[in-house]
Amino acid sequence: MNATSPHAASSVSDEEIARFSALAEQWWNPSGPMRPLHAMNALRIDWACRHLPLRGSTSRRAKILDIGCGAGLASEALAKAGYDVLGLDASANGIAAAKEHLSTHPLPEHAGPLHYRNGSAEDLVAEGSQFDAVVALEIIEHVTDPAAFMDMLAQLVQPNGTVIVSTMNRTLRSLAVGKIGAEYILRLLPIGTHEWRKFILPSELGQYARAAGLRMIAMAGMAPGPMGWKETRDLGVNYIAAFTKY
């Protein structure tokens, strides 16, 4: 989300943007600082696709907005799944890395179109843009006002459209596993990646969604396992939810 936007105060944290901008060049390294995102990406995309609109024909592909796309892990996967994707991020470095990866790793012929934009959700709202679905993966815990952010997601999706959000639950287990364990003990993430107090309870996410005119249609936990990340009923650490617009 562009720090120069006149609306930026409702969602953008300059500190968060700077932190992730510094990681942009390493984003696509599966063994680098974003390796947890690489590990969970297949699960979250598979789950999202089960709840997103039908891909449609090549003449009318469902249009998906991937907010906080970083260097494009989810955006590329969604395009490969057949969607028409716009990846949006406030970090110019992240978008540059996304475009660079796309230029050196062309999508297969069956993929949908993929475009990237450096900017904010507020910019798109001001333009009156709307999409068949909006995807916000591991981003809401990094914005300045999650309730306002959910409201923007609702404004950016068409009536009866779908919003997909994944985030981390604010529990003692997520503090131990997702913060202390991942950042300080296992060093899976750079120290300071997450602020535990900004993790979102499922009840809070549901409250923000209802206030924004969104109805929850599905929710699942996501957990690592010996064979990779898997869907679970346990919402204690990572979870993903789907909503539809009234």
Contacts of 21 (CB under 8 A, 6+ apart): 91, 92, 93, 94
* 30's tokens: 């599966």
In angstroms, rounded to a whole number, what is the distance separating the alpha carbons of residues 190 and 34? 9
SS3 content of the chain, % helix, strand, coil (to 5): 40, 25, 35
Give Cα separations from 23 to 64, 97, 148, 238 (angstroms). 25, 10, 26, 22
Residue 32 annotated as binding? no
Q: Which residues have a Cβ under 8 Å from the Cβ of 11 and sit 6 or more positions away?
A: 1, 120, 121, 122, 143, 144, 145, 148, 149, 152
Q: Is 60 annotated as a binding residue?
A: no
Alpha helices (H) along 52-91: 73-80
For residues 48 and 16, the answer to whether their CB atoms sit within 8 Å is no
Check whether 44 is labelled as a binding-site residue.
yes
Which 8-state DSSP code applies to residue 82?
T
Annotated binding-site residue? 215: no
In the annotated binding site, the residues are: 44, 68, 89, 137
In the annotated binding site for S-adenosyl-L-methionine, the residues are: 44, 68, 89, 137
